[in-house]
Amino acid sequence: MQLFVGLGNPGPEYARHRHNIGFLMVDAIAAAHTFGPWKSKYKSLVAEGRLGNDKIILLKPQTYMNESGVAVSAAAQFYKVALADIIVFYDELDLIQGKVRVKIGGGAAGHNGIRSIDAHIGNEYRRVRLGIGHPGHKDLVTNHVLGNFAKADKDWLMPLLDAVTHSVAWLAEGDDARFATAIAEQLKQKD
């Protein structure tokens, strides 16, 4: 069993924020792979399903970004999921729009959701960083992250969500390199 966590802030006013790309990602996975309905548990919205032979729990913490670790810790303890079986999808300023990187551990790099998860469960879980691009100056970062996706962002956002969704079984199997390669191949075909 694995726990796939999408980070974001709850509520319709945040739904299209760049900071909520993690929510968008797990929503896309749930829809494409016919997961069960979202239910309220562990201060989160939870959906259960399968990717191949692997049982997957999708989690959207409803605690707001700064307290994501509370929800992730509660779900991980209930399901008895090891750190190695937790995968967190979140926005990454330091990657250009539409790029994906997977890593295990590391620092929070200023991301409050990651900082909260690290504080509650440690940092040796897998991270899928979804590039939202940097606005160019540190004074513009807050408005960029907490701003809505622009219409032009659909040109890279929708292909990214589709590519990750179609490649996510590799991630569930633990083949991060094949996952990254499959995404790159799919995005290349759409150019």
When comparing pLDDT for 187 and 132, which is higher?
132
Amino acid 190: pLDDT:
64
Amino acid 191: pLDDT:
59
Task: Dump pLDDT digits (tens) for 67-100.
Answer: 999 999 999 999 999 999 999 999 999 999 999 9
Mean pLDDT of 24-41: 96
Amino acid 118: pLDDT:
96
Mean pLDDT of 18-45: 96
Q: Is the pLDDT of residue 52 over 90?
A: no
Task: Dump pLDDT digits (tens) for 100-126.
Answer: 999 999 888 889 999 999 999 999 999
Q: pTM of whole model > 0.75? A: yes
CA–CA dist 68, 125 (Å, integer): 14
> Domain range holding 23?
2-190
Q: Is the pLDDT of residue 165 over 80?
A: yes
Burial class of residue 34 in the structure, from the number of CB atoms within 10 Å of its CB (0-12 exposed, 13-18 middle, 19+ buried): exposed
Which pLDDT band holds residue 188 (cuts at 50, 70, 90)?
confident
Which pLDDT band holds residue 187 (cuts at 50, 70, 90)?
confident
End-to-end CA distance of the chain: 35
Residue 2 in 3-state DSSP? strand
Share of the chain above pLDDT 70, in %: 99
**Residues catalogued as catalytic:** 19
Share of the chain above pLDDT 90, in %: 88
Amino acid 35: pLDDT:
95
Contacts of 189 (CB under 8 A, 6+ apart): none
Report the domain count for the chain: 1
Here the CATH number for the domain that contains residue 151 is 3.40.50.1470
